Amino acid sequence: MVHIWKIVTGTLLFILLFYGSLALVPKRPITYMDDDTLRVYALSHGLGPIPKSTEGMLKLTDNPKNPVTAKKVALGQALFFDPILSSDRTVSCASCHKLDEGGDDNLPAAVGVGGAVNPHHLNSPTVLNAALAKRLFWDGRAPDVETQAQGPIQAPFEMHMTPQEAVKRIAANSDYRKRFKEVFDDNVTFTHITEAIGAYERTLLTRSAYDRFLEGDNDAMSVKAKRGLNLFIQKGCKGCHTGISLGGQSLQQFPLRRTLSDLFRTAPFPFPNPGGFLGKEGMKKFRVPILRNITRTAPYFHNGVVKDLREVVRIMSTYQIGETFNEKQIDEVIAFFKSLEGEIVPYRLPQKEAK
């Protein structure tokens, strides 16, 4: 018995010493770059501005298998806002993706027909800039916006339609029937429905002060926001929140690190997990959220249980970086996030039809 007690005591002492030693590891120093150096550094490390021109947008988001054209986008926009694609005609894509509110619904968990709540208590990601992502849904199972659009229409707790029912309902509408013939030179199909919606979503890119700074306007971002961008880059946040979209490119483990306070915590995350969702294949791997317009998309994380963006920064710095940001650093990161608040670019689309 004494021998077992010595083993337990020794193990606990080792754990305490190990986690205590982590606090002694020197923090990575920050070099606050001047504006031009910061810009060059950001651009050379995969960050970049949303294009202003239609040509730039198409180069960035167009899908060769589903070319973007003016009529297809107009058709997709109509379908995006039309509750005709839900079983009780009360829910549209726009119900969970409000374009004037950050591209999400600002609810902890998505709500579908009849008030049904997502059984995994999953938060609706933003649709804005989603076409830039390589991974969609929280488990990253969809590779593009066209594939993603198929899910909510069919989910029983969202729009609750079968592909056959959706086609039948759309084809019964003479205006839609005519427009599908014009755009696709074909009858209504479920694939064409989601291709039209996807084409529209490919145009939902937003530009902000951050984009203007990357294009050379040193006054576009505040000094505090630029300090936040310095932190974001040099502390390693950009390693996951990468690309023009600042996220959506990969699946990542969360939480990546543990703290001394987690030693006796059995919960999978440093916050409650209603719905029990554990990411892809239950491995706590999640699609990295897009940070553009993040200040408008509360509540946060996959289950929407964290309302305060400051708390999100604190959690992410602790559990992903291994260095809890202080209040000043959090202020600076939030200022950077505010520079990502953008408006949808009114691109003028080509009139050429896809056949």
**Which sequence positions are flagged as catalytic?**
158
- Roughly what angle, to the nearest 10 degrees, separates helices 174-184 and 163-171? 100
Query: What mean pLDDT comes out for the span 341-354?
Result: 83
State pLDDT tens for residues 97-116: 999 999 999 999 999 999 99
| Cα 69 from Cα 58, distance rounded (Å) | 10
Q: Examine the pLDDT at 166 and tell me if it is beyond 60.
A: yes
The DSSP result for 43-72, as a single string, is: HHTT--PPPSSHHHHHHHH-BTTB---HHH
Can you say whether the dihedral through the CA atoms of 170, 173, 179, 182 is positive or negative? positive
Q: Which domains does the chain have, with CATH numbers?
A: 26-50+207-342 (1.10.760.10), 54-201 (1.10.760.10)
Q: Examine the pLDDT at 27 and tell me if it is beyond 70.
A: no
Q: Examine the pLDDT at 120 and tell me if it is beyond 60.
A: yes
State pLDDT tens for residues 171-214: 999 999 999 999 999 999 999 999 999 999 999 999 999 999 99
Q: Examine the pLDDT at 26 and tell me if it is beyond 60.
A: no
State pLDDT tens for residues 42-96: 999 999 999 999 999 999 999 999 999 999 999 999 999 999 999 999 999 999 9
The DSSP result for 188-228, as a single string, is: --HHHHHHHHHHHHTT--EE-HHHHHHTT-TTSS-HHHHHH
- The reported pTM is 0.91
Alpha carbon of 135 to those of 250, 289, 326: distances in Å?
6, 10, 31
Between residues 285 and 13, the one the model is more confident about: 285
> What residue has token string 């005519």?
178
